[in-house]
Amino acid sequence: MNRTAILWRVASVLVAASFIAAWQLVADLRLVSPVFLPGPDRAWAALVRGFSSGDLAGKLIGTLEHMAYGWLAASIAGIALGALIGSSRTMRAYVAPSLEFLRPLPVSAIIPVAIAMLGLTQGMALFVIAFGAIWPIMLATVHGFAAVEPRLYEVARSLQMSRAAIIGKIALPSALPDILAGMRLSLTVALILSVVCEILAGLDGLGHWVLLSARAFRSADLFAGVILLGATGYVTSIAMSLVEQRLLAWQTAAR
Amino acid sequence: MSVVAKLDEARAARRQKTLIAFNAATLRLGGKTIIENLDLQVRPGEFLCIVGASGCGKTTALRLAAGLYRPTSGAVTFDGEEITEPRREVAIVFQDYGKALLPWRTAAGNISLALEASRVPARERGARIEALLRKVGLPGHADKYPTEMSGGMQQRLQIARCLAQEPTTLLMDEPFGALDAMTRQGLQDEVLSLTEASQTTVIFVTHDLDEAIYLGDRVIGLLPHPGRIGIELDVDLPRPRDQLATREHPEFLRLRRQLFDFIKATEH
Ligand SMILES: Nc1ncnc2c1ncn2[C@@H]1O[C@H](COP(=O)(O)OP(=O)(O)OP(=O)(O)O)[C@@H](O)[C@H]1O
Ligand SMILES: [Mg+2]
């Protein structure tokens, strides 16, 4: 790491620290009633308590599971459908208009439909999360497959590569930067929808925890849940960039 | 009989045969006739150069020979068989090497693509790749990505990948068009020595008339709208060719003059 990178890192830590200090100050001065706003000290204590009593860890795992299953289902289906649509010009012409209609549809609008059809179940949650998370992945994949350099397909033809080899060795790696960018966007969508589904359907998870804490005016527990949700988003996104860096090492090799 | 005489005889015998033949090949694209009634025979082991003004159909003719296009009427044959699809023994060197290489694969990985396609077992690939890189003057660059290489090196890499196909025929579309003069001359000599050693048949498209005469056994000049043959010159210059001596040869200068006059006449 060079000097400026270290300075930036220090600066960002300072900003975070002063943010927490300001929060503590607001809580200590009782600018907001402690019933609604606990200080970082109380939130932290609630976090530790939640983990040691075992409750919170279970909720966290519940949310991570909802998120992971929905996101993985969205990834598999999104990449498969996106590849199918993106690699054929006729498919793009036929399907693109429907996609444009479905894409701006807020996922919240299909939640009642999903509940009516599937009930307040894990299956409903999985469906809603996957349905919301599939769009960024699928659209990015369509774009990635449509943008494969045509010259590379000619290279593949002259090498008489099989269809499977063309997809696996030419199209997929070429579309990978787009696909990964879509998967990163979907990660956030999946987290948000996991919480929403847990709140609506009372499924075990941080969403449910946050809801119950709010109802019981246990603001410290509420904040502990929110902090965990933020950390989940942060950590998964960092993990995703590490994966991206590894898989796309060739892009940075240029300079 | 001396070895040289035997070789000459073998060469003469091959000359009688035809490897690639355009028989009244016509190609229409988008309502436009791009190539019309093209008749051309390429002999095994021949180095044939195609020149012509921009847009006269050189690339299109090459793509017909490659099987990337099929003629609207007439036929293009390889070894007497109609060409319907690209075949592995015919390798294509594209002008835009930057687009023809896989940016996510290293030099070794790009060559490996051809070996994988020919189902060379994984344990044999390493040695083959190393030998090919050495052959095209890129030893020690196996782990570089194409974007880390100069234009000349990228084109060398593309040639190495084509050689990995073990082609009997090389189709080259202005392969050195984007390179500087020095790199270009170096690669010309490398292509000559690579193809002469293996008796590879070459169809070489170029804008550069000097390059065409320097490399070729024969030079074809195309006329535009629609593309057809306007001039055909046999190049009887001694081999191996030499960048200085060949280019100063009176026959070289005579052919060059003839070709320049032809091109000038087609340009308006
Ligand atoms: N797919 C296509 N559809 C319609 N017209 C085409 C197509 N491909 C090429 N042409 C036309 O055919 C003619 C010959 O093209 P071609 O690329 O073979 O020329 P060229 O001799 O290789 O030119 P250059 O020296 O610029 O590379 C051009 O007028 C071009 O516009
Ligand atoms: Mg061309």
Structure confidence by residue, pLDDT tens digits, A76-114 = 999 999 999 988 888 888 888 888 787 777 888 888 889
The pLDDT assigned to B11 comes to 59
B108 in contact with chain A, both atoms CB, cutoff 8 A? no
The partner residue sitting opposite B117, judged by closest CB among A149, A160, A250, is: A160
- B14 pLDDT above the threshold of 60: no
The pLDDT assigned to B225 comes to 85
Look up tokens 């290293």; give the residue.
B106
Test mutation, B102, B105, B203, chain A, max A CBs within 10 A: B102
Q: Quote the ligand 1 centre to A158 CA distance (angstroms).
A: 20
Q: What is the 3-state secondary structure (H, E, C) of chain B?
A: CCHHHHHHHHHHHHHHCCCEEEEEEEEEECCEEEEEEEEEEECCCCEEEEEECCCCCHHHHHHHHHCCCCCCEEEEEECCEECCCCCCCEEEECCCHHHHCCCCCCHHHHHHHHHHHCCCCHHHHHHHHHHHHHHCCCCCCCCCCHHHCCHHHHHHHHHHHHHHCCCCEEEEECCCCCCCHHHHHHHHHHHHHHHHHHCCEEEEECCCHHHHHHHCCEEEEEECCCEEEEEEEECCCCCCCCCCHHHHCHHHHHHHHHHHHHHHHHCC
Q: What is the pLDDT of residues B132-187, one digit of tens each?
A: 999 888 999 999 999 999 999 999 999 999 999 999 999 999 999 888 888 889 88
- A8 pLDDT above the threshold of 70: yes
Does any domain span residue B152?
yes
- B216 pLDDT above the threshold of 70: yes
B267 in contact with chain A, both atoms CB, cutoff 8 A? no
Does any domain span residue B147?
yes
Judged by average pLDDT, the poorest of B55-59, B244-248, B264-268 is B264-268
The pTM assigned to this predicted structure is 0.85
- A184 pLDDT above the threshold of 80: yes
Q: Are B156 and B135 in contact (CB under 8 A)?
A: no
Does any domain span residue B259?
no
What's the whole-number average pLDDT of chain A? Answer: 90
Q: Are B195 and B232 in contact (CB under 8 A)?
A: no
HSE on the CB side for A109, CA within 13 Å? 5
Q: What is the pLDDT of residues B236-260, one digit of tens each?
A: 999 899 999 999 999 999 999 999 9
What is the mean pLDDT of the segment spanning B116-130? 94
Contacts for B176 with CB less than 8 Å, ≥ 6 apart: B155, B183, B184, B187, B188, B206, B208, B211
Residue of A nearest to B93 (CA): A155
**Count of structural domains, chain B:** 1
- A138 pLDDT above the threshold of 70: yes
Percent of chain A with pLDDT over 70: 98
Does any domain span residue B113?
yes
The partner residue sitting opposite A151, judged by closest CB among B99, B104, B105, is: B99
What is the mean pLDDT of the segment spanning B85-110? 94
Does any domain span residue B226?
no
The pLDDT assigned to B15 comes to 55
Q: Taking Cα atoms as reference points, which of B229, B236, B234, B227 lies closest to residue B71?
A: B227
The pLDDT assigned to A104 comes to 76
Q: What is the pLDDT of residues A144-171, one digit of tens each?
A: 999 999 999 999 999 999 999 999 999 9
The pLDDT assigned to A233 comes to 94
Does any domain span residue B214?
no
The pLDDT assigned to A98 comes to 85
- B7 pLDDT above the threshold of 90: no
Range of the domain at B102: 97-166
Ligand 1 lining (C-beta closer than 6 Å): B 29-30, 32, 34, 52, 54-60
How would you classify the pairing of strands B218-223 and B228-234?
Answer: antiparallel
Residue of B nearest to A171 (CA): B102
Cβ-based neighbour number of residue A172 at 10 Å: 17
Residues from chain A contacting residue B117 (CB–CB below 8 Å): 159-161, 165
Does any domain span residue B239?
no
Residues from chain B contacting residue A158 (CB–CB below 8 Å): 66, 68, 86, 88, 90-92, 165
Q: Quote the ligand 2 centre to B94 CA distance (angstroms).
A: 10
Does any domain span residue B159?
yes
Contacts for A195 with CB less than 8 Å, ≥ 6 apart: A63, A205, A206, A207, A210, A229
